[in-house]
Amino acid sequence: MSKVSVVVLADTGSHEGMARAANGLITAKEFKQGGDQVSVIFDGAGTKWIAALANPEHQLHGLYEAVKSDTAVCDFCAKVFGVEDAVRQSGVAVLDEYEHHPSLRKLVADGYQVITF
């Protein structure tokens, strides 16, 4: 069994960013369906995806729902990018493990491979 953390850094404002978010979500879903331990972290500008993906009409909503229970968001970045309210409403975990950011070191120390999109 693998341990994988998918980190989505892509912004919401471009087709390229949507492709990166989609690839991150599908990667997480594949590992999850394979029985592996998965975490998805929206960090940096990627925190803006939470509001978009929560919309049932969004084309990536289904992928997001498939991994939502394994999803978390950077506390600091959600505040900086002005999406703190949307993140709280989404119900996903907020990480502030290292200076208000997720701790990638902790993930690596716990045996996770980190994949960024």
Q: Where are the domains of the chain?
A: 3-116
Task: Report the pLDDT value the prediction gives residue 36, as an integer from 0 to 100.
Answer: 98
pLDDT band at 34; cut points 50, 70, 90: very high
Q: How confident is the model at residue 37 (pLDDT cuts 50, 70, 90)?
A: very high
Which CATH superfamily groups domain 3-116?
Answer: DsrEFH-like (3.40.1260.10)
Taking the C-alpha atoms of residue 35 and residue 19, their distance in angstroms, rounded to an integer, is 25
DSSP 101: B
Question: Which percentage of the chain shows pLDDT scores above 70?
Answer: 100
pLDDT band at 28 (very low <50, low <70, confident <90, very high): very high
CA distance 93 to 74: 9
> How many angstroms separate the most distant Cα atoms in the chain?
38
Average pLDDT over residues 30-36: 98
What's the rounded mean pLDDT across residues 1-29?
97
Over the stretch 39-66, which tens digit does the pLDDT of each residue have?
A: 999 999 999 999 999 999 999 999 999 9
Please report the pLDDT score of residue 17 as a whole number. Answer: 98
Q: Alpha-carbon distance 25 to 90, whole Å? A: 16
Query: What global pTM score does this model have?
Result: 0.96
